[in-house]
Amino acid sequence: MNVAGLELLAEASGMLARFKLKINPSIDVNDSTAIILNAKKYENGKTGVILIGGGSPKNFMLQTEPQIQEVLMIPEAGQDYDINITDARPDTGGLSGAPPSEAASWGKIDPTKLDETVTAYLDSTVAFPLMAAYVIQTTKPKKLKRLYDRGEELRKKLIKSYLENNKEVEELRSFIKKLSVNLNYRRKDSNKLS
């Protein structure tokens, strides 16, 4: 909303052409997807999510698996572990209260691991401090993986897996070229009118 307000101000000030703010959510989608794929495919690990609340953050975190499976066409089964803390009930129809079985139907959670998922219908201000205290008291610190610092490496692995598995890559490249030609044509046409 703040970005929209700034754009409105730029328009009112006659500066819309100079308002060059670009937000690219693809960066976050690809980075989070690269982390999950790397853990499972390249480090032979398991992945899991702890979802506190719901809404967009819940969907964003869970979309990594459909991104891997459906968009990039890399064979994968879904998150191995899923813990949900929410005060939203599934019977009201809100996605914040959607149970793990709903996530499994979209490939977000491995359907063979549904019996290991946990949903606690509890206020997060109660649940999270209890969980944090439990973890601090029962586990030893682990070596940090520094995933953010490994971003370039993880993205390269994601691209490699994408190109190896997606049978539609050439068709998509052709589509991108056509879009680029059409966009350049429209820009030239627009410049002639100015």
Sort 156 into a burial class: Cβ within 10 Å, 0-12 / 13-18 / 19+: exposed
Q: Which of 20, 22, 58, 108 is catalytic?
A: 108
108 included as an active-site residue: yes
Q: Which backbone phi and psi does 173 adopt, to 5 degrees?
A: -60, -45
Task: Output the six-digit token pair for 55.
Answer: 């809404």
Residues noted as catalytic:
108
